[in-house]
Amino acid sequence: MKTPQVKPDWNYGIYVGNGAIAQKGYTIKQFVEFAKNGMCEIGQATEKEIDQVIEIMNDEGLAGDDIFTLWEEMQDPNNF
């Protein structure tokens, strides 16, 4: 007889401080906040995600196109 596998109600992961565990991925809303605050996590966005961030920022009257330039530079491993 096989034992059923039940997902535990606790998480393993990388503790990032302040009671938070690192996530595997970020939401579009989080990427928008990263972009607004000039945080380097914006570099983890995919091209599709960065396009959505730019659209949201442009709708809010912010310089979304500048975020693409920053994101593009972060994709080049020779820049860092």
pTM score, two decimals? Answer: 0.63
Q: Considering the chain, what percentage of its residues have pLDDT values greater than 70?
A: 72
User: Quick one: three-class SS letters along the chain?
Assistant: CCCCCCCCCCCCCCEEECCEECCCCCCHHHHHHHHHCCCHHHHHCCHHHHHHHHHHHHHCCCCHHHHHHHHHHHHCHHHC
For position 37, what pLDDT does the model report?
Answer: 85
Higher-confidence residue of 55 and 11: namely 55
Mean pLDDT of 30-49: 86
pLDDT tens per residue across span 48-70: 999 999 999 999 988 888 888 88
